[in-house]
Amino acid sequence: PAVLVNPLRPALLAAARSPRLERTVSRLGLTRRVVDRFVPGESEASVVAAAEELLASGRFVSVDHLGEDTTDAAQADATVAAYLSLLRAWADLPVPAGTAVPALEVSLKLSALGQSLPGDGEAVALANARTICRAADAAGVWVNVDAEDHTTTDSTLAVVRALREDHPTVATVLQAYLHRTEDDCRALSGPGSRVRLCKGAYAEPASVAFQSGEEVDASYRRCLEVLVRGQGYPMVASHDPAMISAAEALVAGTGRGADDYEFQMLYGIRDAEQRRLVVQGHHVRVYTPYGDQWYGYFMRRLAERPANLAFFLRSLVSR
Ligand code: FAD
């Protein structure tokens, strides 16, 4: 079957980067009714409660403090402080016993930690990420470094390599839509290497990225095969039934145990499928974002699926 591509995807992804539209959309006062479908809330308390519910249902979580493209060091410091506070709050959370895999993870965006600051942005982001990694290690929480647009890929992978010298479980994300990713998968498929494989959420030019759904899916399957046949810990991040069944077949065929890979989906998307995978004996981690800077994340979700956009437009009309 033809892969359904949202015709408004390029426009929505461009809008995701527009501060002017961000102000307009924020003024619509949507937070409660629409954004909550994808974001459990703006406060730390709301994400701690959401994490508790997910854990109680047998799922794991990866929490992201929303924010990206930080333009001043003070904002990056505030992001670090938010993660440290969350890690302290998690100390009281009842975490399921008896799994070899940490149920709690934090996901970081290096651009929120200072990566794009002029001059020494990469060093600032590395130092900030180290601070979070030290606290996470002490708390028994995993850390993942998210993938952003392709201009940051080399810098992000360099920061992850540096972090892994002291914190070997630090994971990163590879995006199947990039031409380079199959090679990156090979380079990152060694023992202990944790890689989240996703399709990719940004607007990227044809010079670096596959443009059609079919090509992205084919790349995803090739990358999945490299990671699952490799020696690392693959994290299959997709809502796509075709990608999920390809992963189920590969892990069964390679004899991987339940603690040797995981599925991942976004908060609020395909809840029943998340639960089905748990019942089947797979680990499922739910990427759960919180905070008031939800605009870019929210717009990328709208760009992914005509149905998400329709949901948003309907809610505007029925306000
Ligand atoms: P799509 O091609 O969007 O969807 C394929 C099919 O999935 C649909 O046709 C439909 O059958 C099904 N489906 C999708 N949504 C629904 C729904 N709401 N209800 C029912 N069925 C649905 N991107 C990055 O660039 N960097 C990151 O660091 C990053 N981290 C991520 C972490 C996680 C855990 C996940 C799940 C995604 C992440 N992404 C990230 C986003 C990712 O790149 C994709 O943009 C996003 O996941 C959509 O791709 P998809 O694989 O789900 O398939």
- Which tens digits make up the pLDDT trace of 272-288? 999 999 999 999 999 99
Q: Which atom of ligand 1 is nearest to the CA of 144?
A: 28
Ligand 1 within 6 A of 298 CB?
no
* Same domain assignment for residues 195 and 287: yes
- Predicted confidence at residue 219, as pLDDT, reads 98
Amino acid at 102: P
What pairs with residue 195 in β-bridges? Answer: 172, 234
* Same domain assignment for residues 168 and 235: yes
- Concerning whether 271 is annotated as a catalytic residue, the answer is no
**Closest listed residue to residue 243, CA positions, set 272, 261, 222:** 222
> Ligand 1, from 5, 151, 210, 238: best to mutate by most atoms within 8 Å of Cβ?
238
First to last CA, the chain: 36
Number of neighbours of residue 141 by Cβ within 10 angstroms: 24
Mean pLDDT (whole number) for 165-185: 98
> In this structure, what are the phi and psi dihedrals at residue 108, rounded to the nearest 5 degrees?
-115, 145
Helix extents (H) in the chain: 9-15, 19-27, 44-56, 73-90, 121-139, 153-166, 181-187, 213-229, 241-254, 271-279, 295-304, 306-317
* Same domain assignment for residues 304 and 181: no
Of 5-14, 29-38, 121-130, 222-231, the one with minimum mean pLDDT is 29-38
* Same domain assignment for residues 159 and 227: yes
* Same domain assignment for residues 34 and 179: no
Of the pLDDT bands very low, low, confident and very high (cuts 50, 70, 90), residue 14 is confident
* Same domain assignment for residues 136 and 25: no
Ligand 1 within 6 A of 305 CB?
yes
Distance 289 CA to ligand 1 centre (A): 15
Distance 222 CA to ligand 1 centre (A): 17
- Predicted confidence at residue 7, as pLDDT, reads 75
Cα 312 from Cα 224, distance rounded (Å): 32
pLDDT at 12 exceeding the cut of 90? no
Active-site hit among 164, 194, 196, 285: 196
* Same domain assignment for residues 24 and 106: no
The whole-chain average pLDDT of the chain stands at 91
Domain that holds residue 243: 44-91+99-293
> Ligand 1, from 180, 211, 240, 311: best to mutate by most atoms within 8 Å of Cβ?
240
- Predicted confidence at residue 2, as pLDDT, reads 47
* Same domain assignment for residues 184 and 282: yes
Cα 6 from Cα 12, distance rounded (Å): 10
- Concerning whether 196 is annotated as a catalytic residue, the answer is yes
* Same domain assignment for residues 120 and 221: yes
- Which tens digits make up the pLDDT trace of 61-103? 999 999 888 989 999 999 999 999 999 999 888 777 777 899 9
* Same domain assignment for residues 254 and 145: yes
The pair of three-digit structure tokens given for residue 210, joined into one six-digit string? 């596959």
Cα 166 from Cα 91, distance rounded (Å): 22
Q: Are 164 and 189 in contact (CB under 8 A)?
A: no
What percent of the chain lies above the pLDDT cut of 90? 73
Ligand 1 within 6 A of 219 CB?
no
Q: How many domains does the chain have?
A: 2
* Same domain assignment for residues 11 and 80: no
* CATH classification at residue 87: 3.20.20.220
**Closest listed residue to residue 170, CA positions, set 152, 201, 192, 191:** 192
Ligand 1 within 6 A of 237 CB?
yes
* Same domain assignment for residues 31 and 143: no
> What is 11-68 written as a DSSP string?
HHHHHTT-HHHHHHHHHTT-TTTTGGGT---SSHHHHHHHHHHHHHTT-EEEEEE---
